[in-house]
Amino acid sequence: MEGLVKAGERPVDRLNRPLHDLRISVTDRCNFRCTYCMPREIYGRDYEFLPRDQLLTFEEITRLARLFVEAGVRKIRLTGGEPLLRRDLPELVRMLAAIPGVDDLTLTTNGSLLARHAAALAGAGLDRVSVSLDSLDDTTFARMNDVGFPVQTVLDGIDAAAAAALTPIKVNMVVRRGINEADVVPMARYFRERGHIMRFIEYMDVGHTNGWRMDDVVPASEIIARIDAELPLVALAPNYAGEVADRWAYRDGAGEVGVIASVTQPFCADCSRARLTADGLLYTCLFASTGHDLRAPLRGGATNRAVAEQIRAIWGARDDRYSELRTRATQSGRGLPVVDPQRVEMSRIGG
């Protein structure tokens, strides 16, 4: 097959990190206005989202995904924006699930439309879902999502995903000081009782529009201490090299939780993720300013081999380690790195 990477040619970057995970944003639109991702004062009524003709088609996404798999990717995650706003998404899932070599095909969603689509996604070949939910309390949740969306609808979506065997389900909670840190233990307890995995995420300085401050970060160590005080925990080893979450098991054997601590405990050294925006820009870091255009060669008639070589060259030149540099700067007293105003926003690359 044209573009196929031969055995032993799996690309690594300048820090010897292999390409393993691909996150594909299928839309930049979302029906929430979460304060840490799409603050309403920026993404208001007049905000111009990508026109449809600039979005990668399902065929273009599948073609690129196949080339990434040939370069070593084994895990594909669909994101947004809110990916379930993309029309006919189960058809894309079906196309991606048919690619040989994809070991894990997953989707991250805010859960608002999950009850409606869970069965179709499972039938198309999706393996599992991760659902973003920042509180079980409607008032607190509304402060985070800024649209007054009810918690129960998200919980119904989680139940539908479980019924469709899109498991193990992971529930992602961004923890922000002064807003929802008191909900950490209730969230852990609720989803432990239902057999789902909680993931607590430190509030991150992605993009430049969310008004991020270090004072708003609840460190992973504090999150774990809160849970451990009521539901004793024991540390677990990673499932695989490059896993982003530090894993903890309940001592009584009733499941696990995880924390994603890119602010206080950076994991840049093992990062194996590439990110593709809905309009075909390849980013090699969550905190990057510059994307590499893959849509233009696709639509300009480039061969698979040419696009594959471009992907390999981009990854081979990669030396991103922003979180490590940020942590070193703050620990040394030099303050935070200057934020590039062009740094890509969370809503474009899905986290």
Position 7 scores a pLDDT of 41
Q: Contact 347/43 with Cβ under 8 angstroms?
A: yes
What percent of the chain is predicted at pLDDT more than 70? 91
Position 341 scores a pLDDT of 52
What integer best gives the mean pLDDT of the chain?
A: 90
What digits encode the pLDDT tens for the residues 271-323? Answer: 999 999 999 999 998 888 889 999 999 999 999 999 999 999 999 999 988 77
Which of the four pLDDT bands, split at 50, 70 and 90, describes residue 261? confident
**Spatial distance between the Cα atoms of 265 and 87, rounded to a whole number of angstroms:** 38
Closest CA to 227 of 200, 253, 245: 200
**Spatial distance between the Cα atoms of 149 and 171, rounded to a whole number of angstroms:** 17
**Spatial distance between the Cα atoms of 115 and 126, rounded to a whole number of angstroms:** 15
Position 212 scores a pLDDT of 65
For the residues 55-71, what does the mean pLDDT come to? 98
Closest CA to 171 of 75, 260, 88, 100: 260
Question: What is the pTM assigned to this prediction?
Answer: 0.92
Position 267 scores a pLDDT of 79
- Grouping H, G, I as helix, E, B as strand and the rest as coil, residue 61 is helix
Q: Contact 111/166 with Cβ under 8 angstroms?
A: no
The tokens for 219 are 């460190």
Position 273 scores a pLDDT of 94
Sheet strand arrangement including 104-109: 233-235, 246-250, 256-260, 197-202, 170-175, 128-132, 104-109, 75-79, 21-25, 273-276, 281-283, 292-293
Give the domains, in start order, of the chain with CATH numbers: 21-349 (3.20.20.70)
Alpha helices (H) along 83-207:
89-97, 114-124, 138-145, 151-163, 184-193
